[in-house]
Structure 1
Amino acid sequence: MANNRRKRKVPTKFGEYGGPSSDDQFTGSENLRVNTFNCILDSLYSEIKKGEYKYSNLHNRFDFLETIKSLETSDITKCARKLSSTYHEDLEPVVVDECLHVKAFLLKN
């Protein structure tokens, strides 16, 4: 008769972050969700945020090329110099003149 007794439900305790406390018992599917699936989602989210930050930096460095036709010569020079100093091993300072030539070419065509 003792084996047929209903398991007593204890009111849910909430931990520091509003979720279940660490001493709660989970069923198999809840355990999978909490300890595996949510951890994977957290990891994916943090990696996506890192990628977003990196792509945002790249966009900020190269975005002047999108509007090069409408930029002033001084703005193009400033942006191209900044790009050249950031990628000093890959770009030579002549990239400033090349960007100005690209603007002139685009305005002709």
Structure 2
Amino acid sequence: MAKHSVHGLGALQAEVMEIVWELGEATVAQVAERIGKRRRVTYTTVLVAMQKLDKKGWLRHHSAGRAYVYQPVRSREAAHTGVVRDILLNAFRGNPRLLLSHLLD
């Protein structure tokens, strides 16, 4: 499982993103191999997850021979900043003072 939750993504998609951020770019086989060191996962499952991330705008790809190489569209920091922004807007009505007050209590 991914170390950090990435807003709007399932556990596998978040794990894929963490690996692609770490590597800078990766093929499906590379990601499947990394995940496979921790738990069982099929190539096809990783392929579908990466295709969905591509459609959602998290990844982009280019051809390299017979394989696609995927790259992140946004940085890890930008993705996690979006999570904080969503929490601020949804849980604290966009008011940073409410957030700070909650953290200090």
TM > 0.5 between the two?
no
Q: Quick check: which one's strand share is greater?
A: 2
Give TM-score, length-normalised by structure 2: 0.29
Higher relative contact order (CA 8 A, sep 6+): 2
Between structure 1 and structure 2, the one with the greater Rg is: 1
The answer to which structure has the higher helix fraction is 1
